[in-house]
Structure 1
Amino acid sequence: MKKFLFQSIIGILFGAFIAVLITNIIYFKGSDLLDGQLFLKNSLACLFCGWFFSVTPLLFEIKTLKLPQQTGLHFVSVAILYFILSFSIGWIPFTLKSVLLFAGLFLLIYTGIWIGFYLYFRNEAKKLNDDLLKI
């Protein structure tokens, strides 16, 4: 529970950082006024997005599940939450072309990040095992 709360706070803070960053990019792009209601809606969505992207990796710490099960559960939960949020907020237009495009991009980015983490942790385990053999 302690780790869940810590991950939640980190995710919400990261979501707030992204919201401020996006707002500043829009503001410095030349927009004189910000729509308060739109800003609040997008900021809350960024907070929620940061929260669930930081909390769902805790699924990988469930030792009773195998890696493919953990990955599948994580992928499905993140994809469902992200696409429901994106369609309801208006980040992704609800057309067949945009749904397929963003689903493909999501899958590509997810796969790239997953492979990166897998290779990193495999390399760390190899280093630890090599150090244990030297003892």
Structure 2
Amino acid sequence: MKKFITRSILGIFYGAFLAVIATNIVYFSGTEMLDGGAFFKNSLGFIFCGCFFTVTPLYFENENLQLWQQTALHFITVTILYFVLSLGIGWIPFELKSILIFGAIFIAGYATFWTAFYLYYKNKVKKLNEDLQHI
């Protein structure tokens, strides 16, 4: 529970930081005035995304689950949370074509990040095993 709370707080801070960065990008791109309601809604969206994107990797720390189970649970959780949030806020227009396009982009991004982490940790395990053989 302590890890969950710690990661939640870190995710909230990370999401808030990204909201400030996004707001500054919009402001310095020539917008003279920001809509307060849109700022608040988008900031909450960034905060919630930061929170669940830092908490859901806890699935991968559960040693009772196999890798495919951890990945499936993580993917389902993140997909549902992200799409409900992004459709509710308006980041993705509520149209079938938009949902399918963003879904394909999301799956491609997820697969890329998952593969990168998998290869990174596979290489780390290989190096550790080589070091153990030299002892």
Q: Which amino acid aligns with 1:33?
A: M
Match of 1:92 in 2: 92
Is 1:125 the counterpart of 2:125 in the alignment? yes
Q: CA deviation at 1:3?
A: 1.6
The runs of at least 4 consecutive aligned structure 1 residues that moved more than 3 Å come to none
Gaps of 5+ in 2: none
SS of alignment partner, residue 34 of structure 1:
coil
Match of 2:2 in 1: 2
Match of 1:116 in 2: 116
TM-score of the aligned structures, taking structure 2 as reference length: 0.97
In 1: Cα distance, 2:69 partner to 2:9 partner: 26
Aligned residues: 135
Match of 1:63 in 2: 63
TM-score of the aligned structures, taking structure 1 as reference length: 0.97
In 2: Cα distance, 1:5 partner to 1:116 partner: 27
SS of alignment partner, residue 32 of structure 1:
coil
**1:102-135, CA deviations, whole angstroms, 9 ceiling, x for partnerless residues?**
0000000000000000000011111111111110
In 1: Cα distance, 2:9 partner to 2:128 partner: 30
Match of 2:83 in 1: 83
SS of alignment partner, residue 64 of structure 2:
coil
**1:32-60, CA deviations, whole angstroms, 9 ceiling, x for partnerless residues?**
11111110111011000000000000011
Q: CA deviation at 1:62?
A: 1.0
Q: CA deviation at 1:2?
A: 2.0
Q: CA deviation at 1:75?
A: 0.1
Give % identity: 59
Deviating more after overlay: 37-46 vs 81-90: 37-46
In 1: Cα distance, 2:110 partner to 2:10 partner: 20
C-alpha RMSD of the superposition? 0.7
